[in-house]
Amino acid sequence: MNCRTASLLRIAFVVAALWTHAVAGKTPPNLLVIMTDDQGYWELGSTGNPHIETPHLDALAQSGVRFARYYAAPVCSPTRAGMMTGRYAFRTGIYNTRFGGDSLSLQEVTVAELLKKAGYRTGLFGKWHLGRYHGYQPQQRGFDEFLGHYQGHIERYEYADQLVHNGRPVRTRGYVTELFTDAAIDFIDETRRHTPESPFFCYLAYNAPHSPFQMDTSHAHQPEGDAMIEKYLKKGLPLPQARIYAMVERVDHNIGRLLAHLESTGLARDTVVFFMSDNGGVSKHWTGELRGFKAQVYEGGVRSPLFVRWPGQFPVGGVVKGQASHVDLLPTLCELAGAPVPDDRVIDGRSLVPLLRAGTGDRHHAYVYHSWNRMLPTPDANWGISDQRFKLVGAGGGTRAKGAEANWGLFDLENDPGEKKNLAPTQPERVKALRTEFLRWYGDVTRGIDYEPVPIPVGHADENPVELQPSWAKTKGDGVKYVFEAYDWDTIEGWSKPGEAAEWKIAVARGGRYEVSLDYGCAGANAGGRLTIGVGHAHVEFTPVPTGTSNVFTHAVAGVLTLSPGPATLRAEVAAASAGEAIRLNRLWLRRLD
C-alpha cells in the first residue's frame, strides 16, 4: 500500500466515523484527561483535607461525577500503560519505572491511536514514561502533538532542560506546570481554529507534585514560589510537606485556568473532563484514614481521585461507590468517542459511561488487582486484591517463605477503610478464595511474556545519534556498579579492574559505520586506564583524560565501528587500569555516519 492510498483510507475512516455520529444525532465530545503525578487521594479539599487549598479541583469534583473507590497502580508507568491500553501493565511488557522496564510493547494499541482513527486530534503535554527510544515515543504511538518528558521525573521545574517536542530536545522558560498548561491551551485553540471539524483528545499529564519538590527557583520568580510555600509553613506543615502542598495548589490554579478557557471559548459543554492521579501519595502530613503510600498496595498507595464532568450529560454531584480501575479509561474514552475497542486481545477495563450517565452505581469490577515489585514481577511480594468489600494484602517481602501467610492482611474496607484490623486469622476461607483469584489473574497477565529491557533501536534517520543510558546496561564484574542520582546524571562506576564491563542490547536498523562517543568523568589521580568498546570482534579503544574530578563529565569520541543490521550486544570493558576508578561513565552514543 503506497502513502497516498494509506492517507485516503485514513481520511475515509475518519469521515465514516464522524458520519456515524451525525446519523445518530450526536457529535463526539472533546476529551480532556488530566493526570497528576504522586498526588495522594488525600491531597484535595474535596476528599477531606483541612490544610490544602484546591478550590478549582474541589469545584470540579462537585460539578460532575466522582468515584469513591477508583484505583491506580502503585507506581506511575503501570498506571499510564493501563490507561493507554485498557490492559493491566504486566500484559503490555511494563514491569519497572526504570532500567528499560518502562517501554510499552510495540504490539500494544494505545487509546490515542484509536481516537485518532476515529477523527480526533490528539495531544499529550507532560509526562509520558512509556518509552524513550525510536518507535516508543508519544508522537509515534498516536499523538499528533507531544511536549513533555519520557522519563519518570525531571530535575528542574523552572527553565526545564529535559523536555522534548515531538522527539526533539527543547529548551524552555518558566515554571513547568504553567508551561504544560499553556501547551494544552494552545493545542485546543489550534484544533478549534484550523481543524474545527475534529474533536480533540488532550492528555495533560502534569509531572507535579513528584519529587524533586520545587516551586519557582529562578532569580525572577523565586519570591512567588517561596510565598506559597511559606503559607503552608504557617499552617504548621514541615518544609517537605509544604513544598508538596504548594505544588498541588499550583496545579489546581492551572487547572482552573484551563477550565476557564474552555468556558470562555464555548467548549466546556462539548468537553468531557477527567481528573485523576497516577498512584498513591508521598506526603505524610495528613492522610485521612488511609494506610500506605506510593509503591505500596495498601489503599493509600493505590487509591486515586477520579472526577468526571460533562455539563448537561453527567449528573452534578454524582457519586459512584463501585470499585473502578485505571484500565477502565480506554473503553470509557472509546465509548464516548464512538471508537471501536480492539477485539483481538484481552481488554481488562470496562466502560464507565453507564455509571457516569447514572451518576451512581454500587458495583463495577468484581475484583481489582494490585502488584508492584521494582525489578521483576512476582506474585509473592507487595500484592493485593480487592472485591467490593474486602481486600487481601500480601505486603513486604516474599510470601512463599514458611509461615509467611501469617503476615497477610484481610481488611473489611466497608467498615475499616484505614486497613487497621486484620481479619485474616478469623476468615481463612475468604483469604484462600481471594488468594486463589489473585494467582489466577497473575498467571493470566504474565503468561508468555519475558520481562527484560527491549533492545535499544539504533540507526534510524530521525533519531541519530542514539543515547545508550547506563540504566539499560547489565554490569559484569565485582567492582563495577550502576549508580542512580537522576535520569540524565546516572552513571556506571567502579571500573577499576581489567575485564569489568557493561553490556547493552541493541537493534541495528541499518548497517554501516557508526561513531562511538561517550560522556564520562575521570579523576586525575586515576588517569592511565583504557576502555574497549565494541560489538563482537569489532572494537575501538579509548583512553580517558582527566576531567577535573569524577563527577565532572565531558564528551569525547572513541572511534568508529562498522555494525551489521540486526540484534547485537555492545560491550564496554576495562582493558587496563592504573589506579582506582579508571572512568565514571555517564552515557554512550552511537551516531550513524553513512
- Among 3, 51, 129, 202, the active-site one is 129
Look-up: residue for cell 510499552? 104
Is 334 catalytic? The answer is no
Among candidate residues 32, 40, 34, the one with its CA nearest the CA of residue 279: 40
Task: Give the helix ranges, DSSP H, for 160-298.
Answer: 176-194, 222-234, 239-264
d(CA 343, CA 82): 16
User: Which amino acid type is present at position 329?
Assistant: L
Per-residue b/e over 221-248, b at no fewer than 16 CB within 10 Å? eeeebeebbeebbeeebeeebbbbbbbb
Taking CA atoms, 244 is separated from 62, 148, 273, in Å, by 24, 21, 24
Cite the beta strand spans of 329-488 per DSSP E: 368-371, 383-386, 390-394, 409-412, 456-458, 466-468, 474-476, 481-483
Q: What are phi and psi for residue 169, nearest 5 degrees?
A: -60, 140
Going by the DSSP 8-state scheme, the letter that residue 326 receives in this structure is: G
d(CA 399, CA 106): 33
- Say if CB 552 and CB 464 are below 8 A apart: no
Going by the DSSP 8-state scheme, the letter that residue 438 receives in this structure is: H
d(CA 77, CA 96): 7
Q: Is residue 301 within a helix (H) or strand (E), and if so which, with residue range?
A: helix 299-302
Q: How, if at all, do strands 121-127 and 200-205 pair? A: parallel
Is 219 catalytic? The answer is no
Grid coordinates of 91 = 500484559
Q: Which residues lie closer than 8 Å to 132 by C-beta, 6 or more apart?
A: 103, 150, 151
Strand partners, 30: 271
- Among 76, 202, 334, 522, the active-site one is 76
- Say if CB 548 and CB 520 are below 8 A apart: no
Grid coordinates of 169 = 530536545
In 3-state terms, what secondary structure has residue 195?
A: coil
Q: How many CB atoms lie within 10 A of CB 395?
A: 19
- Say if CB 211 and CB 127 are below 8 A apart: no
Could you give the residue numbers annotated as active site?
76, 129
